[in-house]
Structure 1
């Protein structure tokens, strides 16, 4: 293997012809650098090459003809270069082992290459963003294993013919045809996908084709459809109610069309958006190749798995009218809703406040009237909000996320008032005086006398309250009940900074890892750019995690918890302060906390390399960068952190959600156990704590299904699953695998029964000389995942065994 992909200092220059002298090379990875020039013309001398990854460089020229000699290629990725030439002139027919081909984002011309259809093993093809022309040939049906096809942004024609042909690809799950077939009519024939066409289709991209016609009825037959993009077309007519019957649909983009009619109330019944349970059941497959999507055309993002896309409905820039249905509050799972630039009228439903996962809400450019519901302050994850250019009136809410929105979110509403738009709201006295001036002189005099008396009394009352507010209730510390005061990130609004500090006090814990001595809520808001989406680095069970770069250069990870945690403020503080006592080199240190305007913040050390889950399962080729010594070091470190929680920390802690995404890695790939958000503290020597069942699918011990009891041995089971992930490179549950091997624990146990334990090792680790060590760790992991909790070892025993993996000491089954 020759691999220098994604190095921190990117390589420049050309790929020298001398590399072809490495005749035994099977893997050549030079992606994500700054290489220029052409692909070596003698690349074909690397006849044993199986993986050629040169994507994301600045390579020019054509695909050398000698490349056809690399008949053992399994993966060929040349995406994002400046390659050119007639692609149909290249002979692909010798690549009988090729499963993945990515030539996207180049300058290739010609038609879809006819010789490509001889590559019977192909499962993923991307030819997007080139200059290909013509029609899709029926010979593409010879690619029976094809599940991923992206040929967007070319010059293909005859969409009706294309769909009639492509429906014959029985395994197709991702179909991206956007920006082709310009100005054609989208096929309306309900029989176009018969018989049994597109029954596995999960992703359909038809954006930017300038299609005319209406939303076709045959989409109702795509029962597994999860993502639908029909944006940037000229599709007219109403939104069909039957879209709400697609049980797995969670991402729908119909923006920038000519759609008319109302917002169908049936859309509020979309199962995958209305119920978290239904959403959890949606098949979460991994893309054979990463896809690049504009989340509502905001920014180009890479997605490696389907579940990475935000649950969203985009209906902006159409001609929809009527009121927004109050049933909108049913879409509990929704993260993004865009209704901008339509003709919606009526008031903003207060039911929006039920959408507690909402991150983006765009209602701008409509004819909405009335006030902005004050209850929207409860949307603690809302990072984008706009009601600009409507007919709204009244005071703009303050507090919560509303203190982070700029005046552009509210412009074009002449009757709105509030500090954010620097327009004061009229007082009640002025309103009464104006109304009284229309009465008789006698009534005016009477009203004025009453008004002056009332005003004088009010003035005294206000002065009294002001004096009292200056007196410290508890000079020795912070009051148990702090009155939250809204703080605008854009202006101090004349409030003295000392009052702000007291209202949203940032509490920092003294520990050796804490480089931050003083911190204010202003600095937190600024360092996270007001909790902007661009700074989100993770999502846990109770909230989003943001990267915060402080003025002194220190980087923190700040978890913004959901507002309704079932804990009173005093209980929350007590629990957090107890957790702060857990300090160990293999734990993510809790640096402090803050309660601000209805939401709660936890501040942790920032881990540069993210989570183990990211490197094993999410990062392109990330697992290949984790060799066995690194994986063993991660297992050893994580076990030490968990042992500290179980046996040393006072009081002892049951983590309750051990998983690879909760094991974070610093710049040296040292493991740190994270996220005690699901933890419950237990007294020393107590063995369990009874509470609701929590955890993550694939990591939950079998006994948790019989009794809602979280135990130390349950943590050991979950850690055993993590060790199996490190050994096998597989997820705990993988719906893409055959039924008998979907669940990692059961599959590994069965393979051991059959004497095939050496076959469970990650192929990236085989043949490197560590098989004996891996077998020892496999034995430890299998003891940890025993169905009988009393046969599982203690975490202290696991620590000792992992420490002695290089010795002859073998663990003994209980």
Structure 2
């Protein structure tokens, strides 16, 4: 309500706020009287009440309406709508706004994370000159920042614009705030070079990770960075070496610069950062040995140097890092044995040394002191000996990988002591006794991933039905036994594993038909039985598999990260690693077998399948038109079969199809054009002399008739012959005539209606 320019509602708000302030002051004074003997010992409660009431008579300037310029600046921002800010209310009461009660009600905090904001950060924000805290993180803001953002906000202490869609360069900081302590611009689309002047001496947290920044790391050895504790530059495009100025960060606790293009060696001064707890520099081109100076980092908990070019031995005295929890040195060129001092790192939970050139007898290393170890990956090295017995005392282990070494022997029954074990990969070694291994491992009740590929060679695939009973592999989700040269048939007990999602048995000598019961598994979405000796037909039961026919079943695929990545199709040149099961494409791969019969039309029900490979078999009949219902299909291989007929024109509607081959069949007719078919080369169609049109070499096509058309054509041909014969006969008859009562009567045959219709065509 407004009366002659007087806003009664605002006045009432100010009165209420003033009164609340008086009550707070009164309460504080009473507390001080009770708790402090030296404060106003002779002041009575009545006098205190009188004193506090006098405040009501003073001007409530501290609780007047917010600064008009600040209010106008806020109203000029493009994301005010979802916040219900209104010009009719005090901006100091708006959502996400904090004002300074002692500085003419100036806005000092704009704190709006995760509010669904969109639009740009407009120039109006630079008018909030008293702003100390700015947090607009986890929204959908677009565009670039005002060039003078930092220099216009001299009081700014915290700026957090992370997890937006901002672009452009880092705003210049010349003449900027000397109070700035926290800068977080992570997870945006910023680019360009960050000037070293941005890293002012007052900065304690600097996070620009997950952007497109380039150039050198923004640090100068001529400046002090004594306040810096958290420094994250990871997932950018920084080049050059780690600058010498890193040594001036005496309080640095976290240094992350992984997933860039850094080169050179680790500078010696980095080992003088006594407070450092995390050193994370993975996925760069750093090289050289790790200096023994790393022993000075006694507070180090995480050391991540994987995917670089480091060489030499792992430092002998690395066991001096008693607080170390994660040691990730995989994908480098480290040599030599595991240092015995590593057993002193009793806080170690993750040890990953995969893909190096480490050597030595693995069974000689004493793992028993590493009681907190949960993840151990020593794959792709040159370790020898048997599986280490001392490992079975590490009761916290959940994931073990020893793949691609030179280990021998058998799996020990003691492995069942690892009750938390869910991931086990011992592929590409020289273990033996598959039947014993399966009988033992079924006792690992929490085992979800079992990879024994390229191992236990030339043995029968165990078909003990007890392996699938309620005390068997009931938690198993990934079962990979590729390239073991197993003999025998696909075990029927696999159909009892209701949680099975990935079945990988390629490159073996498996015979017999595919068990139809596999099609009843509710979670199975990846089946690779390729490169075997399997006979029979395509199981019609596979056409009803829930993971391929139901979106809901597909969405149920576990999207959590695996304990360690898995590698499928061991002999494939496209051998990728997968960190989540949900990243695996829904697949049925039955290529390179001896399957016969036709491809069932019911296959069109598998509309959530991404890969179908039936190549190199003996399938006959035509390509089912229903394959065009597989709208998510990315790869289709029907090559090297005995398929006939035409390529269904409807297949060009498969918009995600990137790989297609029907080479070496008995197909004929015009190759479909349009859609993805315009991207396929002649190799997708070679070996089919009857195919024509681009991209085949046979560009001109002769008409190809269907069976009914062929029948009609034959009738036309017969009718034409009959017509010609009739013409000849009629001509002769007309010339000679028939003398009946001295009249010439021509011979006119009586033609059936069908014949007449054909003659008209």
What TM bracket, shorter-length normalisation? 0.5 to 0.7
Choose from 381, 392, 395 the match for 1:120. Answer: 395
Which gives a bigger RCO, structure 1 or 2 (Cα 8 Å, sep 6+)? 1
Partner of 2:361: 86
* Conserved 8 A contact 1:437-1:444: no
Partner of 1:322: 597
Q: Secondary structure of the equivalent of 2:484?
A: coil
CA distances 1:16-36 after superposition (whole Å, capped 9, x unpaired): 111112122111111111001
Return the match for 1:287 from 562, 568, 574: 562
What is the alpha-carbon distance in structure 2 between the residues aligned to residue 361 and residue 438 of structure 1?
45
Contact 1:85 1:108 in 2 (8 A): yes
Superposed CA deviations along residues 708-753 of structure 1, whole A, max 9, x for unmatched, are xxxxxxxxxxxxxxxxxxxxxxxxxxxxxxxxxxxxxxxxxxxxxx
Corresponding residue for 1:132? 407
Q: 1:7 aligns with which of 243, 246, 260?
A: 260
Q: 3-state DSSP class of the match of 1:140?
A: helix
Retained in 2: the 8 A contact 1:4–1:30? no
How many Å apart are 1:422 and its aligned residue?
2.6
- Hey, what does 2:486 align to over in structure 1? 211
Choose which of 371, 380, 399 in structure 1 pairs with 2:646: 371
Which of 403, 421, 442 is the equivalent residue of 2:678? 403
Relative to 1, partners in 2 of residues 1:178 and 1:296: Cα closer, same or farther, differing over 3 Å?
Answer: closer
Q: Is the 8 A contact 1:150 1:176 kept in 2?
A: yes
Deviations 1:160-202 (A, max 9, x none): 1001111111111111111111000001111134452111111
Which residue of structure 2 lines up, in the alignment, with residue 225 of structure 1?
Answer: 500
> Could you report, residue by residue, the CA deviation over 1:663-685 in whole angstroms, capped at 9, with x for unpaired residues?
xxxxxxxxxxxxxxxxxxxxxxx
Q: Matches of 1:108 and 1:205 in 2, distance apart?
A: 22
| RMSD of aligned alpha carbons | 2.4
Once residues 311 and 25 of structure 1 are traced to their aligned partners in structure 2, the CA distance between those partners, rounded to angstroms, is 42
> 2:278 aligns to what?
none
Distance verdict in 2 for CA 1:219–1:441, change over 3 Å: closer
Q: Does 1:43 align with 2:296?
A: no
Q: Which runs of 5+ in 2 are unaligned?
A: 1-253, 263-284, 728-761
Q: 1:206-246: CA deviations, max 9, x gaps?
A: 11100000000110111000000011100000001001000
* Secondary structure at 2:294 match in 1: helix
Match of 1:333 in 2: 608
1:346 aligns with 2:599: no
Q: Pick the aligned partner of 2:530 from 242, 255, 261.
A: 255
Structure 2 counterpart of 1:58, from 333, 346, 359: 333
Query: What residue is the counterpart of 2:552 in the other structure?
Result: 277
Does 1:101 pair with 2:354? Answer: no
**Matches of 1:234 and 1:389 in 2, distance apart?**
25
Closer/same/farther in 2, CA of residues 94 and 78 from structure 1, 3 Å limit: same
Shift of 1:285: 3.7
Task: Give secondary structure in 2 for the equivalent of 1:213.
Answer: coil
Equivalents in 2 of 1:445, 1:147: separation in Å?
A: 86
Structure 1 equivalent of residue 293 of structure 2: 18
Any residues of structure 2 matched to 1:184-583 within 5 Å, and which? 184-294=459-569, 297-428=572-703, 443=724
In the superposition, relative to structure 1, how do residues 429 and 98 fare at CA in structure 2: closer, same or farther (>3 Å)? closer
Report SS of the residue matched to 1:237: coil
Q: Which moved more, 1:398-407 or 1:437-446?
A: 437-446
Separation of aligned partners in 1, 2:416 and 2:562: 21
In the superposition, relative to structure 1, how do residues 25 and 56 fare at CA in structure 2: closer, same or farther (>3 Å)?
same
- Whether the 8 Å contact between 2:371 and 2:396 is mirrored in structure 1 is yes
CA contact (8 A) 2:410 2:431 kept: yes
CA contact (8 A) 2:639 2:663 kept: yes
1:643-674: CA deviations, max 9, x gaps? Answer: xxxxxxxxxxxxxxxxxxxxxxxxxxxxxxxx
1:175 maps to which residue? 450
Deviates more, 1:268-277 or 1:241-250: 268-277
Shift of 1:284: 3.6
For residues 281 and 63 of structure 1, the distance between their equivalents in structure 2, rounded to whole angstroms, comes to: 41
1:300 positional shift: 2.0
Query: Could you list the per-position Cα deviations for residues 80-131 of structure 1 after superposition, in whole angstroms to 9, with x for gaps in the alignment?
Result: 1111111001110000001111111111111111101111100111111111
The answer to whether the 8 A contact 2:504-2:568 is kept is no
| Runs of 5+ unmatched residues, structure 1 | 447-814
Q: Which moved more, 1:193-202 or 1:74-83?
A: 193-202
- The answer (yes or no) to whether the contact 2:337–2:359 under 8 Å persists in 1 is yes
Q: Secondary structure of the equivalent of 1:300? A: coil
Greater CA drift, 221-230 or 184-193: 184-193
Q: Determine the C-alpha separation between the residues in 1 that align with 2:659 and 2:365.
A: 48
Q: Assess, with a 3 A threshold, how the Cα gap between structure 1 residues 141 and 428 changes in structure 2: closer, same or farther.
A: closer
**Once the 2 structures are TM-superposed, how far is the Cα of residue 329 of structure 1 from its aligned partner?**
0.2
CA distance in 2 between partners of 1:132 and 1:293 (Å): 21
Residue 16 of structure 2 is matched in structure 1 by none
Q: 1:184 to 1:39 in 2, by over 3 A?
A: same
Change (3 A) 1:429 1:90: closer
- Shift of the 22–282 alpha-carbon distance from structure 1 to 2, 3 Å rule, reads closer
**1:100–1:123 contact (8 Å) kept in structure 2:** yes
Cα distance in 2, alignment partners of residues 3 and 429 from structure 1: 66
* Change beyond 3 A, Cα 1:243–1:429: closer
* Distance change (3 Å), C-alpha of 1:101 and 1:4: farther
TM-score (normalised: structure 1): 0.53
**Which residues of 2 match residues 534-683 of structure 1 at below 5 A?**
none
TM superposition shift of 1:48 = 1.4
C-alpha distance in 2 between matches for 1:345 and 1:177? 35
Offset of 1:441 from its aligned partner?
11
**How many angstroms apart in 1 are the aligned matches of 2:573 and 2:547?**
23
Q: Distance in 1 between matches of 2:409 and 2:295?
A: 36
Measured in 2, the distance between the counterparts of 1:227 and 1:411 equals 33
Which segment drifts farther, 373-382 or 9-18? 9-18
1:295 is displaced (CA, Å) by 9.3
CA contact (8 A) 1:394 1:425 kept: no
1:442 Cα deviation (Å)?
7.7
Paired residue secondary structure (2:337): coil
Question: For the residues of structure 2 that align with 1:445 and 1:243, how far apart are their CA atoms?
Answer: 66
Contact 2:623 2:647 in 1 (8 A): yes
> Secondary structure, in 3 states, of the residue corresponding to 1:192?
helix
Aligned-partner SS, 1:28: strand
Cα distance 1:88–1:6, how it changes in 2: closer, same or farther (>3 A)?
farther
1:398-454 residue CA offsets vs partner (Å, 9 max, x unmatched)? 111110000000000011111211313444599999x979965984999xxxxxxxx
Partner-residue secondary structure (3-state), 1:60: strand
Query: 2:670 touches 2:701 (CA, 8 Å); kept in 1?
Result: no
Find the aligned partners of 1:406 and 1:55 in 2 and give their Cα distance.
40
Partner Cα separation in structure 1 for residue 624 and residue 704 of structure 2: 30
Distance 2:405 2:701 in 1: 59
Structure 1 distance, partners of 2:558, 2:326, is: 29
Contact persistence 1:173–1:202 (CA under 8 A): yes
Contact in 2 for aligned 1:72/1:95 (Cα 8 Å): yes
CA contact (8 A) 1:14 1:35 kept: yes
**Cα distance in 1 between the residues matched to 2:570 and 2:635:** 11
